[in-house]
Structure 1
Amino acid sequence: MTILLVEDDESIAIVITAALEAEGFSVVRCDSIVERDRLLATQEFSALVTDVMLTDGDGIETLGRVREMHPDLPVIVLSAQNTLDTAVRASDTGAFEYFPKPFDIDELVRTVRQAAGSQGASLGGGVDEGPGQGLPLVGRSASMQAVYRMITRVLRNDLTVLILGESGTGKELVAEAIHQLGHRQKGPFVAVNTAAIPADLIESELFGHEKGAFTGAVARHIGKFEQAAGGTLFLDEIGDMPMQAQTRLLRALQSGSIRRVGGRDEVSIDTRIVAATNKDLEPMIAAGQFREDLYYRLNVVPIHLPPLRERADDIAALARHFLALAATEGLPRRRLAPEAEAMLMRQPWRGNVRELRNFIYRLALLAREDVIDEAALEPMLASAARAEEQVDIPLDLNSAVERWLGEHNPPPGTVYDAALAAFERPLFNRILAVTGGNQLRAAQMLGINRNTLRKRLGELSIDPDSFLRRP
């Protein structure tokens, strides 16, 4: 089998050629689009391996001519640009695979072997409209390249996606990218923070309700599933969803239909589901706090977002990106000196990208010079560190309530129920853990009636059996 390699970097071309020839392939090399087209017009090849930036143009933009000559020729794209835009462009051309540089040569060889035997399969599933622009996914680190490649694999299908990552890593941005770049981009993108909705209202919010379904239901309400018809429903913080709502969600995913609260009719749903969580769901499954069958329904395509500490190489690019965004929002236009960028890269950023963004905006506002150097940056970082230490100091109950209200901002009319549930849930979990799930002893410790405890455990979707002590 003969492979056409289009690469203008001589050292990379030599390594790829040697690796492919060692596997029994015959390799024809060139370094330009003109020479590529001449060879394709006169010879047959089993696969094409091409760089993006070539001596006479863009290797992706000119792949249309390759498709005209050889519609079934598998194409593998190599690129040092390493952005989501490049990955999506490669997918939109029907490329068999996309490899950001630097890549694993053994993985490339395995992929070429698969491509040479596939004749026409592609990672994108077909050519579609061009990618959306301005998506705030920034980074060229190896870990972000893995994220980009996973995104390209789900753009042309409706597989359910579960985005995993710490708070502040940008899970909603990934969900928006999947929506905006995918075939449902003309439909609505509806985001729901399931942790911010009181347990007794979450089913109504997701599935809607009929007039008279409960006290206060004065009219029919269309839920988020129906609002997202034709588009994408993003379920954030899915790990905090109450058990009863998990059951309803599972049924909806299995049947492809929902029933409004208080309603009798089944309503077909036409929406893609993307869920996200900052929690490890598997221990929650073992503790009976999350349904295992729902987990496997959601975890069809997992996308793991790396914390910022694992992609330090992206920090300077992110900082420049946020400074540019700040300028578009009316803040002074600033620039970071190289030594200041290096200092930012050495910080831990426990709040991940969200923390970095907030810091950069504050820096743009308070800096006295247009070019921010190391001397100007150091006191700002020290001030941020002191503020972080203060946040970590144990709070009294009054401060904790004020902080919770500021972070969650529950809708009017739900503040008391939401705050009470937020207080009772960890309290009951702690007492049940102490009593090994014994509700009578737990009620005695709390000083409340056992029936009252049982009622609240049901309302909070807390399973006391999950606290039973086993040998």
Structure 2
Amino acid sequence: MPKRVLLVEDDASIALVITAALEAEGFEVDQCDSVAGRDRFLAGTQYRLLLTDVMLADGDGIDTLGPVCAAHPGMPIIILSAQNTLDTAVRASDTGAFEYFPKPFDLEELVRTVTQAIGKAEASEPDLPQDVPQGLPLVGRSAAMQAVYRMITRVLRNDLTVLILGESGTGKELVAEAIHQLGNRRAGPFIAVNTAAIPAELIESELFGHEKGAFTGAVARSIGKFEQASGGTLFLDEIGDMPMQAQTRLLRALQSGRIRRVGGRDEISLDCRIVAATNRDLMPMIAAGTFREDLYYRLAVVPIELPPLRDRVDDIDALSRHFLAKAAAEGLPRRNLTAAASALLSQQPWRGNVRELRNFIYRLALLAREEVIDTSAIEPLLNAGDAASVVRPSDDTGHDAHDLASAIGMWLDEHTPPSGEVYDAVLAAVERPLFLRVLSQTAGNQLRAAQVLGINRNTLRKRLQDLRITPDEITSV
């Protein structure tokens, strides 16, 4: 049978380029620009491959593929789309498409993929059930994020262990949640554990559970995270900070597929997918003997590396508007950005990545005086600098909040508080009125207030105790 391909593309220039490239490699190409045209061609001709755009004049190129897949189960499908979102990538994968190419794409890679697809002649994979949740908080259409989306779609129908790599604040847990919620185990639990936050002497008990009397204080049997995640996904965050002894037990569990509770005799079969993450560079740790090489290769069956925000600058505008909408949905004032404000945000380094941008946007949503945010509202927050250098009394109008909110957030989490009179001055002149104002705006919600201030919730709770701020004070502001 000739290597005949059907191309469905409504952009004439793109269709011309793809057709010329495929014909140069010996393919016969029929071309149309609509769902109706596609169906007419498929009804009268047998094709080795379908190459289709998504947004067509008379329909969605993905949503209308059901009858095509049923009638041509052995025909590979390649999806092209300018709608470069995770939802589009997942929908493409759900059809059993051989590959998904976000526009703009590498033409040579596209031709190689067409050749590979026809050579393998693989039947379409079965569809995922149609209860896939929407609205996952993964935002961005940059080339860097498209690579992440494509990796996510490739692990949805299997239980291969995934290792997510990336700097702090890049969204590693969000990717883990997406893999779980879109994958075969989404009906089961998603159990996340930060291995860096568990004391070394307790980590084995937390992961594997313990029997009554296994150690001092073990007054009852405890079910560990592995068992809690049965039927679902276990997310091991900050895996690079796991103690060596716990690494050894984790490796043994992954190799055998069985665990034993601390102090127990019976082995328990594992039934969960493992997704791990770290912001550490594990290879130097392996060389230094602080991370097991065999555990690394057991975890990194499928590595997914998340780009820092500086490598996806094109996404900053979409992320900023997403966080403004989210802040409004959580009760903060509804805001919008001017083009100049968005451009200014895109020029910032955001060393804390998406997490830092999110915290900044929440502060901006609370503290901006106008509904439409311009550069004049952003610049004071960006230029606030270290809190110790901007301490000054705040009047009842809260006008100094613009200058202090960002600085307070960074300063509290990144500095050891000064002692004596200087610290007392900070507490009296800055923290108390600012915290009261933010808590009033967030209706006393400490989690939301901590997000606005850009600090840890535990840090906020301790400060409230130190400042003796009561609920009555908050409601009266």
| TM-score when normalising by structure 1 | 0.82
Provide the secondary structure at the position in 1 that maps to 2:383.
helix
Distance apart, 1:68 and its partner CA:
2.7
Aligned partner of 1:140 in structure 2 is 141
What is the CA–CA distance in structure 2 between the aligned matches of 1:371 and 1:352, rounded to whole Å? 24
Distance apart, 1:396 and its partner CA:
7.9
Q: Deviations over 1:390-417 (max 9, x none)?
A: 5798758989xxxxxx86969xxxxxxx
Aligned partner of 1:42 in structure 2 is 44
Distance apart, 1:376 and its partner CA:
1.8
Aligned partner of 1:346 in structure 2 is 347
Q: Is 1:248 aligned with 2:249?
A: yes
Distance apart, 1:67 and its partner CA:
1.4
Q: Is 1:237 aligned with 2:238?
A: yes
Contact 1:20/1:109 (<8 A) preserved: yes
Aligned partner of 2:99 in structure 1 is 97
Aligned partner of 2:474 in structure 1 is none
Provide the secondary structure at the position in 1 that maps to 2:127.
coil
* Cα separation, partners in 2 of 1:390 and 1:227, compared to 1, 3 Å: closer
Distance apart, 1:134 and its partner CA:
1.4
Distance apart, 1:382 and its partner CA:
1.4
Contact 1:225/1:233 (<8 A) preserved: yes
What is the CA–CA distance in structure 1 between the aligned matches of 2:139 and 2:158, rounded to whole Å? 24
What is the CA–CA distance in structure 2 between the aligned matches of 1:67 and 1:397, rounded to whole Å? 67
Distance apart, 1:116 and its partner CA:
1.3
Aligned partner of 2:19 in structure 1 is 17
* Cα separation, partners in 2 of 1:10 and 1:384, compared to 1, 3 Å: farther
Written as runs of structure 1 = structure 2, the 5 A alignment for 1:287-302 is 287-302=288-303
**Structure 2 unaligned blocks of 5 or more:** 388-406, 421-454, 460-477
Aligned partner of 1:279 in structure 2 is 280
Provide the secondary structure at the position in 2 that maps to 1:60.
coil
Provide the secondary structure at the position in 2 that maps to 1:219.
coil
Q: Deviations over 1:36-70 (max 9, x none)?
A: 10000000111000000011110000101211321
Contact 1:74/1:118 (<8 A) preserved: no
Provide the secondary structure at the position in 2 that maps to 1:261.
coil
Aligned partner of 1:418 in structure 2 is none
Contact 2:80/2:103 (<8 A) preserved: yes
* Cα separation, partners in 2 of 1:389 and 1:183, compared to 1, 3 Å: closer
Provide the secondary structure at the position in 1 that maps to 2:384.
helix
Provide the secondary structure at the position in 2 that maps to 1:137.
coil
Provide the secondary structure at the position in 2 that maps to 1:383.
coil
Aligned partner of 1:170 in structure 2 is 171
Q: Deviations over 1:75-95 (max 9, x none)?
A: 000000000000000000000
- Partner amino acid for 1:117? G
Distance apart, 1:213 and its partner CA:
0.3
Contact 2:413/2:456 (<8 A) preserved: no
What is the CA–CA distance in structure 1 between the aligned matches of 2:326 and 2:417, rounded to whole Å? 37
Distance apart, 1:71 and its partner CA:
1.4
Aligned partner of 2:323 in structure 1 is 322
What is the CA–CA distance in structure 2 between the aligned matches of 1:355 and 1:3, rounded to whole Å? 47
What is the CA–CA distance in structure 2 between the aligned matches of 1:392 and 1:226, rounded to whole Å? 35
Q: Is 1:127 aligned with 2:127?
A: yes
* Cα separation, partners in 2 of 1:121 and 1:333, compared to 1, 3 Å: same
Report the number of matched residues: 402
Contact 1:96/1:121 (<8 A) preserved: no
Contact 1:41/1:69 (<8 A) preserved: no
- Partner amino acid for 1:126? P
Written as runs of structure 1 = structure 2, the 5 A alignment for 1:195-206 is 195-206=196-207
Provide the secondary structure at the position in 1 that maps to 2:105.
coil
- Partner amino acid for 2:346? M
* Cα separation, partners in 2 of 1:286 and 1:66, compared to 1, 3 Å: same
- Partner amino acid for 1:38? R
Contact 2:165/2:304 (<8 A) preserved: yes
| TM-score when normalising by structure 2 | 0.81
Contact 1:232/1:273 (<8 A) preserved: yes
Contact 1:204/1:223 (<8 A) preserved: yes
Q: Deviations over 1:310-331 (max 9, x none)?
A: 0000000000000000011000
Contact 2:75/2:123 (<8 A) preserved: no
Aligned partner of 1:88 in structure 2 is 90
What is the CA–CA distance in structure 2 between the aligned matches of 1:159 and 1:276, rounded to whole Å? 14
What is the CA–CA distance in structure 2 between the aligned matches of 1:252 and 1:394, rounded to whole Å? 40
Aligned partner of 1:113 in structure 2 is 115
Distance apart, 1:384 and its partner CA:
5.9
- Partner amino acid for 1:32? S
What is the CA–CA distance in structure 2 between the aligned matches of 1:392 and 1:267, rounded to whole Å? 41
Distance apart, 1:8 and its partner CA:
0.2
Q: Is 1:76 aligned with 2:90?
A: no
Contact 2:54/2:61 (<8 A) preserved: yes
What is the CA–CA distance in structure 2 between the aligned matches of 1:28 and 1:143, rounded to whole Å? 32
- Partner amino acid for 1:315? I
Provide the secondary structure at the position in 2 that maps to 1:49.
strand
* Cα separation, partners in 2 of 1:385 and 1:6, compared to 1, 3 Å: farther
Aligned partner of 2:61 in structure 1 is 59
* Cα separation, partners in 2 of 1:364 and 1:6, compared to 1, 3 Å: same
Aligned partner of 2:268 in structure 1 is 267
Provide the secondary structure at the position in 1 that maps to 2:31.
strand
- Aligned residues: CA RMSD: 1.9
What is the CA–CA distance in structure 2 between the aligned matches of 1:335 and 1:129, rounded to whole Å? 37
- Partner amino acid for 1:328? A
Distance apart, 1:126 and its partner CA:
2.5
What is the CA–CA distance in structure 1 between the aligned matches of 2:188 and 2:222, rounded to whole Å? 20
Aligned partner of 2:189 in structure 1 is 188
Contact 1:163/1:274 (<8 A) preserved: yes
- Identity within the alignment, %: 75
What is the CA–CA distance in structure 1 between the aligned matches of 2:60 and 2:284, rounded to whole Å? 48
* Cα separation, partners in 2 of 1:188 and 1:397, compared to 1, 3 Å: farther
Q: 369-378 vs 211-220, which deviates more?
A: 369-378
